[in-house]
Amino acid sequence: MNNHQGNQERTSLHGQWSSRLTFILAVTGSAIGLGNIWKFPYIAGENGGGAFVLIYLVCIFLIGFPIMVSELMLGRKGRRNPITSMKILGQEEHGNQNWKWVGLIGLTAGFIILSYYSVIAGWTLHYFKMSLLGELSNLDNESAQSIFNELTSSAATQLIYHTAFMAITIAIIAKGIKEGLERAVKLMMPGLLIILVILLFYSISQGDFMAGVNFLLKPDFSKVTSQSILAAMGQAFFTLSLGMGCIVMYGAYLPKNESIIGTTTTIIFCDTLIALLAGLVIFPIVFQFGLKPTDGPGLIFLTLPLAFSEISGGYVFSGLFFILLAFAAITSALSLLEPSVAWMIENKNYTRGKSALIIGVLIWLLGLLSIFSFNLLSGLSFWKGTLFDNLDYLSSNILLPMSGLLFTIFASWIMKRKHSLEELSDVSRRVYSLWRFSARYIAPVGVILVFLNAIGII
Ligand code: TRP
């Protein structure tokens, strides 16, 4: 249709990142979260350890990398929320606005994810409070278990913390990019790494470190099923915040002169490092205390308090750990909320505060389902398990890969070569071609094969 569109540079309506560092912190803040520290260890535990980790790493590099580059590129070119960006770019690149639906799948996934993410983040706030009050001392296997059961069986306690967590997230997003998002990540990200390293020393000296290392790094392929391959891919999407459009959104605030491939490399490196470190902290403790790596979503809430209660002054460490975990969760939650809020500001003309409140409350409501799935509705089991299990499976294993696939197909097949080349102009032609090849063939074929495999076709 109109070939002259798109030559003029659009600008974001919400401002830009103030520096390269804050952008990297924001995206790493989005990537590093409960996915690394809470989800990765328990999913690896449920899926047999080493072999799962290996498949996960392959998914990160072959599928995650090209897709993250694609999403950043689409965001920076579109400069709007993911739905509108896809609509504009679809129109510009080949006269079809239907690409907006890809953005919508992503935003839906983000909506669902934040609803249960906030519940789990609430658990970390509760454990923080208990650490401070000294309620986590002198634990043994059983008392740790019963503290955890008490929490999950109480809808009221979870409701309080879920509400608190959503309120914090909404308040930060309401303040905007520079005053809210950037300030939060600059404050919250650095400490997390320090604490993880301290904990690693603890786990090396006190835990059964070699058993942990073996479990995490020694592949036993007899445990690999098609479902565990899908779980590994789902986890790769989840941990890198892909498929939902939040990377598209953060790309929309990225200045033109920043290197997309360079920043992606840094972000993926940090995220993977933190996930592996978290595993190396947690599994040695699991084996030391005779816990089961297959304990599911409760894994870190059962293991870490036990470990901390063994050392004198351990409540300080445990308090620090849980508050920093909450920080990691907040910086991720911000990225889950921002795209829908930006959509509402851009399309409904509401203020940022009002948009954050409306969307936040809707997500909070959906979160009630996850809370109840641990108590009132725990008997309700269908498809993949409880309501919580289903919300997680649907969003991470189906919606994220699906929209991630479509984002990367758009960036590599539909977007004109000239345009993608412009976005990646800082790297050599060889690196560009490598991206384009993996975005066109490797990532899509990978995602589709894993899907077909999981539904039993191959
Ligand atoms: N990546 C975050 C974590 O590991 C969670 C997250 C933030 C996310 N934004 C996302 C997951 C978008 C999927 C899609 O905890």
Average pLDDT, stretch 171-175?
95
Which residues' Cβ are closer than 6 Å to ligand 1? 30-31, 33-36, 110, 113, 238-239, 241, 244, 246, 332, 335-336, 400
Instruction: Tell me what pLDDT residue 297 has.
Output: 84
Q: Are 121 and 326 in contact (CB under 8 A)?
A: yes
Ligand 1 pocket test: pick from 105, 113, 273, 327 the residue with the most ligand atoms within 8 Å of its Cβ. 113
Q: Are 15 and 178 in contact (CB under 8 A)?
A: yes
Instruction: Tell me what pLDDT residue 296 has.
Output: 81
Give the nearest ligand 1 atom to 38 CA: 15
Residue 186 clears pLDDT 50, i.e. is over it: yes
Instruction: Tell me what pLDDT residue 105 has.
Output: 95
Instruction: Tell me what pLDDT residue 165 has.
Output: 98
Q: Are 90 and 260 in contact (CB under 8 A)?
A: no
| Both tokens assigned to 359 | 């969307």
How close are the terminal C-alpha atoms of the chain, in Å? Answer: 41
pLDDT, tens only, 7-30: 568 999 998 999 898 999 999 999
Which residue, by CA, sits nearest to atom 14 of ligand 1? 241
Q: What proportion of the chain, given as a percentage, has pLDDT over 90?
A: 67
Residue 203 clears pLDDT 90, i.e. is over it: no
pLDDT, tens only, 123-148: 999 999 999 998 998 888 899 999 99
Say how far apart CA 180 and CA 329 lie, in whole Å: 15
Locate the domains of the chain by residue range: 16-454
Main-chain phi, psi angles of 264, to 5 degrees = -60, -40
Q: Are 283 and 41 in contact (CB under 8 A)?
A: yes
| Both tokens assigned to 409 | 């197909």
Classify burial at 303, counting beta carbons within 10 Å of its beta carbon; exposed 0-12, middle 13-18, buried 19 or more.
buried
pLDDT, tens only, 38-61: 999 889 988 889 999 999 999 999
Q: Are 331 and 189 in contact (CB under 8 A)?
A: yes
What does the mean pLDDT of the chain come to?
91
pLDDT, tens only, 282-291: 899 888 888 8
Residue 116 clears pLDDT 50, i.e. is over it: yes
**Residue 3 binned pLDDT confidence (cut-offs 50, 70, 90):** very low
Give the nearest ligand 1 atom to 237 CA: 13
**Residue 294 binned pLDDT confidence (cut-offs 50, 70, 90):** confident
State the architecture of 16-454 in CATH terms: Up-down Bundle (1.20)
Instruction: Tell me what pLDDT residue 7 has.
Output: 54
Which residue type does 123 have?
W
Q: How far is the CA of 31 from the centre of ligand 1 (A)?
A: 6
Instruction: Tell me what pLDDT residue 413 has.
Output: 97
Q: Which residues contact 54 (CB under 8 A, 6 or more apart)?
A: 219
Residue 361 clears pLDDT 70, i.e. is over it: yes
Give the nearest ligand 1 atom to 33 CA: 15
Residue 272 clears pLDDT 50, i.e. is over it: yes
Which residue, by CA, sits nearest to atom 6 of ligand 1? 241
Give the nearest ligand 1 atom to 31 CA: 1
Say how far apart CA 275 and CA 57 lie, in whole Å: 11
Residue 4 clears pLDDT 70, i.e. is over it: no
Say how far apart CA 328 and CA 25 lie, in whole Å: 11
Average pLDDT, stretch 426-431?
96
Which residue, by CA, sits nearest to atom 10 of ligand 1? 241
Ligand 1 pocket test: pick from 114, 246, 249 the residue with the most ligand atoms within 8 Å of its Cβ. 246
pLDDT, tens only, 363-389: 999 999 999 999 999 999 999 899 999
Least confident of 2-6, 294-298, 320-324, 403-407: 2-6
State whether residue 382 is helix, strand or coil: strand
Q: Which residues contact 161 (CB under 8 A, 6 or more apart)?
A: 121, 122, 123, 125, 126
Residue 391 CA, distance from chain mean position: 15
Q: Are 435 and 261 in contact (CB under 8 A)?
A: yes
Considering only CA atoms, give the Rg of the chain.
21
The H-assigned helical ranges of 65-174 are 65-78, 82-94, 100-132, 141-153, 155-174
Q: How far is the CA of 120 from the centre of ligand 1 (A)?
A: 13
Instruction: Tell me what pLDDT residue 196 has.
Output: 85
Q: What angle do CA 97, 401, 366 make, to 5 degrees?
A: 85
